[in-house]
Amino acid sequence: MGKVLQLNELRRRKTRAYRHRFAGHMDRFLAKFARDHLPCNFEMLRHLYTEQLITEHEHCWDYLDFRDSLVQGLSSSLGATLLGDLAREWWFDKRYYTLDEIIESLVTSYILNRFALPAEM
């Protein structure tokens, strides 16, 4: 009776527990989604981006700008598809993830080449 419930802490613990429990499912889902929807690897995409900047007479390129452009592009072009596909998964609960967090995770894994098949590495 003497305990004060801290709802923020309770929510944080539930979110952390949920994400830990289903992290493998999310990683496998993102790997499959990337293989199905992202046709080229990161190095090829980076090369195309730098070529585009050269044709626009830019003197240099910034990794953070490129990453932000990639996040915005994926969010606008594949965000609805990604959420729709995730909603069909039995383990996914939208209360514990935002679209921005999912897209960031997808981009990070894509850049680190976690989705490559063994022959591609």
Tell me the whole-structure pTM to 2 decimals. 0.78
On whether residue 99 sits in a domain, the answer given is: yes
66-114 pLDDT tens trace: 889 899 999 999 999 999 999 999 999 999 999 999 999 999 888 887 6
2-35 pLDDT tens trace: 566 688 888 899 999 999 999 999 999 998 898 8
On whether residue 73 sits in a domain, the answer given is: yes
Q: What is the total count of domains within the chain?
A: 1
Count how many residues are written for the chain: 121
On whether residue 1 sits in a domain, the answer given is: no
On whether residue 2 sits in a domain, the answer given is: no
Can you give the pLDDT at residue 74? 92
The rounded radius of gyration (Å) of the Cα atoms in the chain is 18
**Which phi and psi (to 5°) does residue 65 adopt?**
-65, -40
On whether residue 51 sits in a domain, the answer given is: yes
Residue 37 has pLDDT above 80, yes or no: yes
Can you give the pLDDT at residue 4? 64
On whether residue 50 sits in a domain, the answer given is: yes
* Residue 46: domain span: 7-120
On whether residue 62 sits in a domain, the answer given is: yes
